[in-house]
Structure formats: structure tokens, C-alpha cells
A and B are shown apart, each in its own frame.
Chain A
Amino acid sequence: AQTVTQSQPEMSVQEAETVTLSCTYDTSENNYYLFWYKQPPSRQMILVIRQEAYKQQNATENRFSVNFQKAAKSFSLKISDSQLGDTAMYFCAFMTDNDKIIFGKGTRLHILP
């Protein structure tokens, strides 16, 4: 069975610092998708960044980037120049085609002024 593990339940960093959220997963599939979702207090889930497993290049979206290590089954999220608005719950997720999406338990991130 596929699993997603986020080992950091909670983190705090100062505004403008860089923070890395870790995620590992377990699967026997070769082709899949990985996601980081953000859930602010409004509870609306927002896609932050996505990575296709067949792509070796790490995905980037402005201040957000990932370090995808397929062999190690690791998918960490780096937030550069963190902003107060980045305060939220962050979920790592895994999906294969035509199958359910599996989420980690989340990391609660606090950006401190």
C-alpha cells in the first residue's frame, strides 16, 4: 500500500527566511504524481506545486521549489523568502493515474514577524 509520511508536525521560521518541509513516500509504482497543498485557516486547499515522477527536473513555482529524489522516495518543499501569508498547514500528497490521492498528516508552518 502507498503511504506518505511527513515527519515534522509543526515548524516556525522568521519572515524572509528559507524553510524546508520534508516528505517521504512509499510505492511500487513507477509513474505517479506528487503534490504539495497548502491549507490556510480558511480551510481551502490550494495546490502549491506538483511534480511528475517521470520528470527528473525539480519543479519550481516562484518562491516554492521541490527536491525530488525518486530513488530515495523523497519529496521536500523549499519555501524561499518566507512571507506571513505562507502561514498554513502544508500537505504532501501522492497520486497514480486512475487512483486515489493519499495525503500525509501535514506540517503546520508558522511564519513569525
Chain B
Amino acid sequence: GAGVSQSPSNKVTEKGKDVELRCDPISGHTALYWYRQSLGQGLEFLIYFQGNSAPDKSGLPSDRFSAERTGGSVSTLTIQRTQQEDSAVYLCASSNFAGDGNTEAFFGQGTRLTVV
């Protein structure tokens, strides 16, 4: 596709259930990022992929959070045993490191997760 695609766009889940959030980056982008944004707040870094490797997982809030990326493309963020404080918008971005002055991160529309 032309842009970064995230699914689902909205997810309501019961406390204690597991959820999977998907990100489909722009084709050819080697870098992929996950951020969490609570209502009206800034972007909290979660994890970053370079290809299929995650050089920086420092932002994952707890061991209930994990992410993987396969084939250097699609990434899945998994939250196990969801808690109400996990409710937020989860944003994914991908980047090209063009090196020609056109480097930027392109964002998806986000997944709004509500834990009830």
C-alpha cells in the first residue's frame, strides 16, 4: 500500500485478555517504530526495529508487552493480560533513512485500544 497501515483501528477488550495490534509499513522501509499515546499526551516510545531485529526495546512498559517483525515487513505488538492502564492509541511508523535529505518517519492512523 501507499502508506503505513494499522489494524484494527479500534479495539475494545476485557481486562485480562490478550490483544494483537498489527502494523504494515511502507514497502522497502527498514525501520519500524511503535509508540503509545495516552489521551492528549505525547508519544511514548515502545520499541524500534531495524529489519527484523529490535536494537531498542527499552520502552516496553512490562513483560506483558512484546513485539515481533517478520520478513522485514509486518510487525505485531502483543499485549498479554491487558490492564485498564494499557488503554491508549498505539501508533506505528516506518522510515526509509533515505540519506538524500528526504529521511522522515511515516505514521499509520493508530489503533485505539480500550480495556474495560
Residues in chain A within 8 A of chain B (CB atoms) = 33, 35, 37, 43-45, 47, 50, 52, 91, 93, 95, 97-106, 108
Contacts and interface: CB of A to CB of B under 8 A. Distances in A.
Contacts of B50: 98
A104 B42 contact: yes
B33 A101 contact: yes
Interface residues of B, number: 26
Contact of A98 (B35, B89, B97, B110): B97
Interface centre among B41, B42, B107 (most CB of A within 10 A): B42
Q: Is the interface of B mostly helix, strand, loop or mixed?
A: strand
Nearest to A103: B43
B95 to A, nearest CB: 7
Contacts of B101: 52
B91 A45 contact: yes
A37 B91 CA distance: 14
A51 to B, nearest CB: 10
Contacts of A45: 91, 93, 107
Contact of B107 (A44, A97, A99, A102): A44
Interface centre among B43, B50, B56, B91 (most CB of A within 10 A): B43
A100 B109 contact: no
